[in-house]
Chains A and B, each alone.
Chain A
Amino acid sequence: MKQSFRLQGLDCANCAARLERALNKLDGVAHASVNFLAQRLSLEAEDARWEGVLRDAKALVKKLEPDVTVA
């Protein structure tokens, strides 16, 4: 499953790159891509684990970039 999210408040390019690296290392994530300019996150993971991976990914974003909200 693959879904695209808006990252509200993402205002630093290097943070976006860091976030992308961290998300790609997250267990269960097949592919994560953060586009700083489009302020978008695209997340891909197995269907069976989707809910859990999504929760972990959101928690990771919150931890790394407290000012960013995933919508």
Chain B
Amino acid sequence: MTRKQRKELLRIALGLALFAAGWCVPGAWLGGWAARAVFAAAYALAGWDVLWASCRNILRGEVFDENFLMAVASLGAMALGDFAEGAAVMLFYQVGEWFQAYAVGRTRGSIAALMDIRPDFATVLRAGQPLRLDPEAVRVGETLLVRPGERVPLDGTILKGESTLDTAALTGESLPRPVRPGDQAPSGCINLSGLLEIRVDRHYGDSTVARILRLVEEAAERKARTEAFITRFARVYTPFVCGAALLLALLPPLLLGGAWGDWVYRALTFLVISCPCALVISVPLSFFGGIGAASRRGVLLKGSNALETLAHVRAVVFDKTGTLTQGAFAVTQTLPAPGFGRDALLDLAAHAESASTHPLAKAVAAAAPGPVDPAAVTDLREHAGRGVSATVKGRAVLAGNAALLHDNAIPAPTLGDLPGTAILLAVDGAYAGAILLQDRPKPDAKAAIDALRRAGVRQTVMLTGDNAPAARAVAQTLGLDAWHAGLLPADKVAHVERLLAETRAADPKARLAFVGDGINDAPVLARADLGVAMGALGSDAAIEAADAVIMDDRPAKLADAIAIARGTLAIAWQNIVFAIGVKAAILLLGALGLANLWMAVFADVGVAFLAILNAIRALALPRR
């Protein structure tokens, strides 16, 4: 509660006390004027600021200002002789406004706290002395000191110390990440256990923290269609209701000879509910809460329009490497020729490839039964685009593709359509076997596809530049609906355009999301209804091009985000229907003379309050 809010609360409480006192004053005193005076005092105490603001606004020509309308309604009620009702209208209006401000402030605060990853300071070692500086003042290449419990202020590489990092604020991942010298330390993480020395790799402005904060700030600009609808509605609603009130006050008495007091009173109920506040607050608040909920799970949305699109996603197109798969090769199968064992094959291959930095060579080394002995390898030669030849432990070894064996006139069996990439081996001039390597699906990729299907996604498609057998293996393991292999970046755009058209043809409201790791994906990310970049801790291009960013590299987060988006949209529409419904009902009852000002005040601030409470639920999404 802010100081202003405390002051307001005190004022409202005093107003309510005076109001109660007004009821205790015997009605007969001074011909009823004693009670009226007390109610008027309660009214003045509670509503002077509203009256003052409305005077100010009239001078500016703002007629449809809610202060002015509330002032007219309450003063009108008093003019009709019911001081208690006039005071009550003003008091409850103020109570409602106070609760609104309080609830919105609290929600805003909790979301802001969620996104508050800004480091307050950076401790820099300069001339061996620790110096506390503004993170902006730290230069690239300097050494940071980060103590346990402190936030990593700038992106860097760990020089000294071992620790665990809490990346929850960035990725939503609650499991701490162990780090050692040489590892990356993204800014915004909290150092949990050990003292770390970190070399600064990026200036603050380019650091993860600054990029995320910029993203969150920019999210404010991109409003959802539902929000735009509410803004348009609010714009016509107030003048419409005020006009109707005027007609209601004037026409029946003039044309039909109705009683003035009766019809003016009915018109006043209109004025009380003429503010579209409930809608104007609760709908954006729902979206804000939804964006907050998603960011807590490590999914950053660039605005409520992205949230809205996400809720309508019916087709998801994935990039393969690095998105559905780990982007790293591993040995999946060995096919030794007679006379060779699996271990012997791997051992020879690992030795022959020991000088290579190719990802395939690393995967073979990782699968080999023992460490590589460099002294056992001689005559090592690389054959570009083919493989290597070497003498390993006195034996002539060839390791590479079919072309390499063919060049050396060594007959090799055709392996056929095997998934992945094969390394063929020949030893002393004879075929010795093959090693199959594959980029494996991420551990949660299958769960991600299943969850998407449960969430109502009708089509899951994989696009890849990789070869067909490798793509088929992944697609079959994960149970994807379709896959296309051997694509160039331009082909991917063409495929996405075709799928967009198909999705729209099936259901005009359906949307298509493309999920990629941000490398070479920018055109496709931009073309899809919703571009989702993954593993964005470190990739600038992805953050720029995408509409949504999954901070870590877990595709399963997408289904979570869709659930949050659906829940948020449901809440927003509940609020729209509830608020408009109640207001319409009270307008009707008011016109018929069946609603009094008390009911009208409820329809105004009560509905706003309930709608806000409902909107706050978005922050707690997804429900289990």
Known contacts A17-B234, A36-B284: A63-B60 contact under CB 8 Å: yes
Distance, CA A39 to CA B107, complexed state (A):
13
Nearest B residue to A36 by beta-carbon distance? B284
Report whether A14 and B66 are in contact in the complex, using a CB–CB cutoff of 8 Å: yes
From residue 42 to 60 of chain A, which have CB atoms closer than 8 A to chain B? 42
Complex contacts, B220 vs chain A, CB 8 Å:
4, 33, 35, 38, 40, 42
Q: Please name the residue on chain A nearest to B289 by beta carbon.
A: A37
Complex interface: chain A residues within 8 A of B218 (CB): 4, 42
Q: How far is the CB of B614 from chain A (nearest CB, A)?
A: 15
In the complex, A26 has a CB within 8 A of chain B: no
Is the pair A37, B217 in contact by a Cβ cutoff of 8 Å?
no
| Among A13, A33, A40, contact of B280 (Cβ-Cβ < 8 Å) | A13
Tell me the complex Cα distance, A66–B288, Å: 26
A14 touches B275 (CB 8 A): yes
Is A37 touching B101 in the complex (CB atoms < 8 A)? no
Are B217 and A4 in contact, CB atoms less than 8 angstroms apart? yes
User: With A39-B108, A63-B60 in contact, is A13–B284 under 8 Å at CB?
Assistant: yes
Of A13, A40, A64, the residue contacting B217 (CB under 8 A) is: A40
What residues of A have a CB within 8 angstroms of the CB of B276 in the complex? 14
Chain A residues within 8 Å of chain B by Cβ, number: 19
Chain B residue at smallest Cβ distance from A4 = B217
Q: Mark B342-367, 1 if CB is under 8 A from A, else 0.
A: 00000000000000000000000000
Knowing A33-B223, A35-B221, the reply to whether A13 touches B101 (Cβ < 8 A) is: no
Total number of B residues with any Cβ neighbor in A under 8 Å: 27
Do A42 and B221 touch (CB < 8 A)?
yes
A61 to chain B, nearest CB (A): 13
Whole-angstrom distance from the CB of B34 to the nearest CB of chain A?
36
Q: What's the Cα separation between A18 and B275 when bound, in Å?
A: 12
- Whole-angstrom distance between the alpha carbons of A4 and B221 in the complex? 10
Residue contact B221 to A33, C-beta cutoff 8 Å: yes
A11: chain B residues at CB < 8 Å are 101, 104-105
- Residue picked from A4, A33, A38, A40, most chain B C-beta under 10 Å: A38
Q: How far is the CB of A25 from chain B (nearest CB, A)?
A: 13
> Which residues of A are in contact with B by a Cβ distance under 8 Å?
4, 11-14, 17-18, 21, 33, 35-40, 42, 63-64, 66
Q: Given known contacts A37-B285, A38-B220, what 18 new A-B pairs fall within 8 Å (CB)? A: A4-B220, A11-B101, A12-B277, A13-B280, A13-B284, A14-B234, A14-B276, A14-B277, A17-B234, A17-B235, A17-B280, A18-B62, A21-B235, A38-B219, A39-B108, A40-B217, A63-B60, A64-B60
Residues of B at under 8 Å CB distance from A? 56, 60, 62, 66, 101, 104-105, 107-108, 111, 217-221, 223, 231, 234-235, 275-277, 280-281, 284-285, 288
7 nearest A-B residue pairs (beta carbon): A35-B220, A13-B281, A38-B220, A13-B280, A37-B288, A33-B221, A40-B220
